[in-house]
Structure 1
């Protein structure tokens, strides 16, 4: 389930499809390869010039430019996702910003909050799945001492058991609206935007 931050090379001058973090998104510069860099989810998307996409998990569908900062991605027989750019990253959620995101903590139903030292003392959980077979659970606990624990579970409604369980722990830092989780010497980002913490994160591979 783990993937380190991708290695990106090249410059905007060398490749017209490269996209700087401040450049307006266009139909031309969103074409390319996007690799997941978050803690829980591992996948890679290829956005093709003909507005179709393919992913390493086998998802196929179409995409379009939603606005100057986001991409609308629609897989076959599935709900659409919105990819929103934040700096050099893109966070992924559904059209209503309800999935792949921590909205409120488990104890008080407060939004994700960090103090002036970048510390939090909150626990979150999120779930996702289709109506037939599987449900995924993403749990995160941030502690005031700068450490965290996290858990990913994949539950099968066919076997009524957890087919996958992954556990993570390490240190975290929070800076410029990015929560960095360190696990086995690799850092994984989560993005805080408008009081919500997003964990399905992609970065475009610049060539």
Structure 2
């Protein structure tokens, strides 16, 4: 009897394997929460031994921090995509806010809320949350400043306007974890209305521009 040749496993390069681990952990975080990320759980998802995950991440807390950073970075890139940088600032801001309110980002809203809670006990995650908050805040403030310089927005404080918008978005995100949340149309456009108010725009401008 002739034995069948055994399939050969392709050994991944270290950079590819590490990226795969982080991406898998980010998926677990989005679906179930950061607390569910363990070396064994990620290993089971990938069909490998826990020791392999531990080789890249000896401490699970480091993997948790990187998983959150990965998800937050992907979120920001999808909300403010690079291919739209040539568009006017009001169009990009409108699209940013409409995307945030279309329901696709509910898991990410939960993740941010989860990360802020868990980070109280994990210094590495706390640093990652602060870094991602800073990058997002700067990106939004720069976008508003660009619009101010071109006359699209009327504000003397681009950073202050960005903070108004982000705090409103964060407040709305808190409802994502509340099973008894109030279902009211005002919630859908609250962040957009806030942005229009602090930027001196007529009601409905940003959604129309988006």
Q: Which structure has the larger Rg over C-alpha atoms?
A: 2
Q: Same fold (TM over 0.5)?
A: no
| Higher helix residue share | 2
Higher normalized strand content (fraction of residues): 1
TM-score by length of 2: 0.25
What is the TM-score when the length of structure 1 is the normalising length? 0.25
